[in-house]
Amino acid sequence: MFEKVLIANRGEIALRIHRACREMGVRTVAVHSTADANAMHVRLADESVCIGPPAARDSYLNMSAILSAAAITGADAIHPGVGFLSENADFAAMVEEHGIAFIGPSPEHLRLMGDKVSARRAAEGFGIQVVPGSAVVDPAAAAAEARRIGFPVLIKAAAGGGGRGMRLAHSEAELASQLPAAAAEAKAYFGDGALYLERYLDRPRHIEVQILGDGQGGVVHLGERDCSLQRNHQKLLEETPSPALDADARARLAAAAVGAMRQLGYKGAGTLEFLYRAGEFFFIEMNARLQVEHPVSEMVSGIDIVREQIRIAAGEALGYGQEDVSLAGHAIECRINAEHPVSFAPSPGTIASYHVPGGLGVRVDSALYQGYTVPPHYDSLVAKLIVHGAGRGECVMRMKRALEEFVIAGIDTTIPLHQRLVAEPDFIAGAYDIGWIGRFLAAP
């Protein structure tokens, strides 16, 4: 096992990793920008190193500063967390070249899954259905492809993610007019103008499967997560199991994901994301890293995903099979952002008072504390409220009462939005799709 893990991230996920290390008896190094000198994970870590100014490109994305921090502290592993460098194959390779373990998949797998086209090709190779579509070679070929898969079609940046730069075309004329703009946008956002065309699915759900592989033949899944409640492609609330799946669909999905990861020889935690509609799953991408919403899978499986990541990176085998994993009850996570609950205007600032809900089945993952100042430089996620219950109904009621108890004063948060959400008949019925939040927020 590692002696000392450097946590190359910030906020609640850095604290999450610190906690897992602490519980394994592994020492921690927090790295931080000058804006995060008072962050909770910095205060709790065994050691901390300031790696740069507030801008992420000069601190949390500064590979040489992070590697230098690992060198001066003698860390023998780096956990990249979520976002920042977590899916950067070059960083993973560089870490390993320095004789330090990268807590994540191999650089090859990061590279494979980091590009939508190669990821999709790999999925097809593993026998997983993908959304019909293909790379855009030229406008004429794109038009022919669009006719084959049927309008409306979605134009995406091949190197993109997070929903950025997606465009919908309902006709050949629209397609022709959208392509140049989409290419320019892709180039601007992602440094690569390559485009991708695919069938547009009407009101699908976003359903993903949590995988753990040890790279030694061991692969298990921890069930699916339904992340359909998204605003501008940002997930707001996730739950497991999905209220939309029956046992057959669930078994098919899990078998496809596990089979693919076994063929790939995948090492680490990862998530295969799918669109689901009317009994059919279409692979969209794989996140070859920890995900923000991993806690809901932990709540139903009892498996500490971050601990498993660390064990796997240290060369340990899973040591258990799918038959040893039992998924019990239901779990829901609300992402609490430092944003106005109606306008979604970011709301950094000082936490005037902070009181978290407690009791049975309630978990809070947050790096906030009373008196802490949320800096304006990073994303707005400040707390994850996760509840677990025997069934979905109990779980929804528990989330309601936990939201009632949660006090975060001094900044605006999305708690009031979540309170509205969990009282909505559609949510209570589990009847929502990836467009539901957009329609809900647009309603008068």
Q: Kindly give the residue spans of alpha helices, DSSP state H, lying in 199-344.
A: 247-264, 294-301, 305-313
From 289, 311, 363, 398, the catalytic residue: 289
Q: Applying CB under 8 A, which of residues 72, 390, 431, 441 lies at the interface with its own copies?
A: 390
What contacts 440, CB < 8 A, 6 or more positions away? 421, 424, 426
**Tokens at residue 418, please?**
């979540």
Partner from its own copies, other proteins, none contacting 45, C-beta within 5 to 8 A by type:
other proteins
Among the listed residues 56, 65, 155, 290, the single contact to other proteins using CB under 8 A: 65
Cβ neighbours of 234 (radius 10 Å) = 17
Between strands 219-231 and 205-214, the pairing is antiparallel
* Footprint of other proteins on 297-336 (CB under 8 A): none
CB atoms within 10 A of CB 138: 8
Residue 184 sits in the site that holds other proteins (CB under 8 A) = no
Given 40, 244, 290, 374, the residue binding other proteins (CB under 8 A): 40
Closer of 275 and 364 to other proteins (Cβ): 364
| 97 lies in the site for other proteins, by CB under 8 A | no
150 vs 358 by CB, closer to its own copies = 358
Q: Where are the beta strands (DSSP E) in 99-175?
A: 101-102, 133-135, 153-157, 167-169
Cβ neighbours, 10 Å, residue 14: 28
Residue 400 interacting partner from other proteins, its own copies, none (CB closer than 5 to 8 Å by kind): its own copies
Of other proteins, its own copies, none, which one sits near residue 72, judging by CB under 5 to 8 A according to partner kind? Answer: other proteins
Kindly state whether residue 93 participates in binding other proteins, applying the rule CB under 8 A: no
Find which of its own copies, other proteins, none residue 180 binds, CB within 5 to 8 Å per kind: none
Residue 34 is a binding residue for other proteins (CB under 8 A): yes
Alpha-carbon gap, residue 51 to 59, rounded angstroms: 5
* 94 membership: H or E segment, kind and range: helix 89-97
Contact between 19 and other proteins (CB under 8 A)? Answer: no
Among 180, 217, 358, 438, interactor with its own copies by CB under 8 A: 358
Number of residues engaging other proteins in binding (CB under 8 A): 38
DSSP three-state, residue 318 = coil
User: Which x/- pattern, by CB under 8 A, does the window 391-420 give for its own copies?
Assistant: ---x--xx-xx--xx---------------
* Partner touching 234 among other proteins, its own copies, none, CB below 5 to 8 Å by kind: none
What minimum distance in Å lies between the beta carbon of 308 and its own copies? 11
Active site residue 289: yes
Instruction: Tell me how far apart the alpha carbons of residues 241 and 332 are, in angstroms, rounded to a whole number.
Output: 9
Smallest distance from the beta carbon of 20 to other proteins, in angstroms?
A: 17
53 or 152: CB nearest other proteins: 53
Structure tokens at 87: 């899916």
Strand locations in 322-394 (E): 330-337, 349-350, 353-355, 362-366, 373-374, 381-389
State whether residue 384 is helix, strand or coil: strand
Q: Answer yes or no: are the C-beta atoms of 14 and 7 closer than 8 Å.
A: yes
Structure tokens at 257: 């994901």
Taking CB within 5 to 8 Å according to partner kind, which of other proteins, its own copies, none is near residue 347? Answer: none
Among 22, 24, 44, 93, binds other proteins (CB under 8 A): 44
Closest to 81 measured CA to CA, from 18, 138, 133 = 18
Strand partners of residue 101: 77
* Sign of CA pseudo-dihedral 122, 127, 132, 137: positive
Within positions 25 to 44, which residues make up the interface with its own copies, using CB under 8 A? 25, 44
Strand-by-strand arrangement of the 4-7 sheet: 47-52, 27-33, 4-7, 77-79, 101-102
**Contact at 8 Å (CB) between 256 and 105?**
no
Sign of torsion, CA 66 67 71 76?
positive
Rule CB under 8 A: choose which of 7, 10, 16, 113 binds its own copies: 16
Is 429 a binding residue for its own copies by CB under 8 A? The answer is: no
- Interaction of residue 373 with its own copies, rule CB under 8 A: no
Report the amino acid identity of residue 120: R
| 68 or 370: CB nearest its own copies | 370
What residues are labeled active site? 289
Binding site for other proteins (CB under 8 A): 29, 34, 38, 40, 42-53, 59, 64-65, 67-69, 71-73, 350, 352-355, 369-372, 404-405, 407, 409
Q: What residues line the site for its own copies (CB under 8 A)?
A: 15-16, 19, 22-25, 44, 295, 298, 302-304, 326, 328-329, 353-356, 358-366, 369-370, 390, 394, 397-398, 400-401, 404-405
